[in-house]
Amino acid sequence: MTTFTRLLLDRLRDHPDATALVLQRTRQPDLALTVADLMQAAAGWQRALQKRGIQPGEVVLLILQHGPELVQSYFGCVLNGSIPAIMPFLTEKLLPERYRAELSALLEVTRPAAVVTYPEFENEVRAACGEGSPVRRVLVAGETSMPPREPDWERLPGLARQPEDTALLQHSSGTTGLQKGVALSHRAVLRQLEVYSQTLNLDPQRDAIVSWLPLYHDMGLIASFLMPLLLGVKLVLMSPFDWVRAPYRLLQSISAYRGTLTWLPNFAYNFCAQKIRERDLQGVDLASLRAVINCSEPCRPESQAAFAARFAAFGLRPEALQT
């Protein structure tokens, strides 16, 4: 059994120029990152954490918007042997007072050594870090970069972590109370990826995963983020907020990048079938899809039937609708 850092270094050694992921952002060109690009940026974050005294085994809370900083800082934590934990950032859909209260409570429960956030949210984080806060450092994306240099890859602190050590914290939804950080070991996550990838017949040579799922939920984090990036499958990643505003972007991305796998909670089948207009499907070809997997909610056959009927004319095969 191995660890996240070892898998990442193996992928860097074997396929440095392969596309690791494509980040899609509103009104900006798609950003394609090779394995070497991702690892170099992650190594910069690792050095930034280490320079600020963040140790292996300490929790780092990530409150970042969709973008390269979130992905790069996440794996910077991994390379440092620290424990990343992604939390939703404040949006117009969240009540600010409730969010601040939950953030303060989460800091007390999770006890992170550091928080990584974006400039506009720095003051909120510092305000939540009251007297006696465990947070020693607040790192601000865009202001924390380290000068590029070639790391000594085989001396990274993350390599000293063991399979039974905690790899990440995955926060619960908070439906029944305060969000709870569930500690998952390298062994547990990698065993899940092994079994799930075998079930999917995942093939890095032919598969491409396209996802909009939030990385602070387990399906987005495990199946649509860690699985492709650790196992060497191309990933196309868009913001959940961009998808909600324009759900047709998912289908356009599947068509453009020949996506083979995507995951949708049940409501999204109805949402896409009802909201996507014909004019936004010009040139879309969904024939590459081998699985659209219903996840995270009770599965309703009528929702999948509506999705299948709506997009059959665009190459979607009935057998691609799976649970």
Percentage, residues of the chain above pLDDT 70? 95
Contact 214, 208 (CB under 8 A): no
Q: What is the mean pLDDT of residues 24-39?
A: 94
Q: How confident is the model at residue 149 (pLDDT cuts 50, 70, 90)?
A: confident
Tell me the average pLDDT of the chain.
92
Q: Torsions phi, psi of 116, nearest 5?
A: -110, 125
pLDDT at 177: 46
CATH class for the domain made up of 242-322: alpha beta
Q: What pTM does this model have?
A: 0.94
Give the start-end residues of each E strand in 145-301. Answer: 166-171, 181-185, 208-211, 234-238, 261-265, 291-295
Q: Which helix (H) or strand (E) holds 115?
A: strand 114-117
Mean pLDDT of 6-21: 97
Which residue, chain included where needed, has tokens 């999705």? Answer: 307
pLDDT above 90: residue 171: no
Q: Is 229 exposed, middle or buried (0-12, 13-18, 19+ CB in 10 A)?
A: buried
Best CA proximity match to 80, nearest among 52, 107, 111: 52
Give the number of other Cβ atoms within 10 Å of residue 299's Cβ: 15
Do the first three CATH levels of 4-200 and 242-322 match, i.e. the same topology? yes
Can you say how many angstroms the Cα of residue 273 is from the centroid of all Cα atoms in its chain? 25
Judge whether residue 176 has pLDDT over 50.
Answer: no
How many Å is the maximal CA-CA distance in the chain?
60
Q: What is the pLDDT of residues 154-165, one digit of tens each?
A: 999 999 999 999
Q: What is the mean pLDDT of residues 190-211?
A: 97
pLDDT for 127 equals: 85
Residue-level pLDDT at 175: 45
Distance CA 135, CA 128 (A): 10
Q: How much of the chain exceeds pLDDT 90, in percent?
A: 76
β-pair partners for 1? none
Q: Which of 215, 254, 209, 241 is nearest to 228 (CA)?
A: 209
User: Which of 49, 19, 44 has the alpha carbon at shortest distance from 34?
Assistant: 19
Question: So what's the pLDDT on residue 103?
Answer: 83
Contact 85, 168 (CB under 8 A): yes
Selected residue with higher pLDDT from 175 and 146: 146
pLDDT at 107: 87
Confidence of residue 204 (pLDDT cuts 50, 70, 90): very high
Q: What is the mean pLDDT of residues 17-38?
A: 95
Tokens 């947070």 correspond to what residue?
A: 135
Asked if residues 317 and 287 have their Cβ atoms less than 8 Å apart, the reply is yes
Rounded Cα gap, residues 289 and 304, in angstroms? 15
- For the segment 290-318, the average pLDDT, to the nearest whole number, is 93
Domain 4-200 sits in CATH 3.30.460.80: no
What is 20-41 written as a DSSP string? EEEEE-TTS--EEEEHHHHHHH
**Does the pLDDT of residue 194 top 90, yes or no?**
yes
The residue ranges of every structural domain in the chain are 4-200, 242-322
> What is the SS3 assignment for 238?
strand
* pLDDT tens digits, one per residue of 81-118: 999 999 887 776 667 777 778 888 888 888 999 999 99
Q: Is the pLDDT of residue 180 over 70?
A: no
Question: What was the pLDDT predicted at 179?
Answer: 60
Structure tokens at 279: 């004019």
Taking only the tens place, the pLDDT of each residue in 50-93 is: 999 999 999 999 999 889 999 999 999 999 999 999 988 777 66
